[in-house]
Amino acid sequence: MVRQAILTAALLSAAPASADIVPANGAGFVVSDRLLVAAPPAKVWAILVQPARWWGKNHTYSGSSANLTLDLRAGGCWCERLADGGSVEHMRVVLLKPNETLRLVGALGPLQEGAVTGTLTVELKADTNGTQLSYSYVAGGYLRPSLDAMAVPVQGVLSEQFAHLKATAEAK
């Protein structure tokens, strides 16, 4: 319970970046962004499918990104190991096209407390300067007090995480 409160506070305090937010008639939102990553798609993909390498520890339940795993198959879990044998399912793989598209379904962080469904799609396209990475997170459902109120914090968290993925991929 305390860990969830900390996660909620961290999500709410995350600074929004340049990503777009599109409200969806009060029942949800869409957060999307596009980044140019100065690395080839295969390198970006290799990092993307290892969330322990780029997802920040402040946005985990365990406090350690090292506890994150992604099972690379349809139905595969983006999961997190917790102390004493516990675990969290963050999302599930629904589409996997290596070096091209990763689509996951699940409610991130405090969105799990409501009747919320979220779909995260990440697409990679080769570019003369590296890789065009685009992502969108479509969330819909019900959350007290308001799902719409979570759009800006979710935007901030996702922008932060994908900026870290970009920095990791561009590191020599």
- The predicted model scores a pTM of 0.87
Domains in the chain: boundaries: 2-13+21-170
CA nearest to 12, candidates 162, 160, 152, 158? 152
Pick 2-13+21-170's CATH classification: 3.40.50.1820, 3.30.530.20, 3.30.200.20, 3.50.40.10: 3.30.530.20
> How much is the pLDDT for 116?
96
> How much is the pLDDT for 6?
42
Residues of the chain with pLDDT under 70: 1-18, 23-26
> How much is the pLDDT for 145?
81
- 3-state SS of the chain: helix, strand, coil percent to 5? 35, 35, 30
> How much is the pLDDT for 63?
97
- Angstrom CA distances, 116 to 10, 67, 105, 155, stand at 19, 24, 11, 16
- The tokens of 120 are what? 């995260």
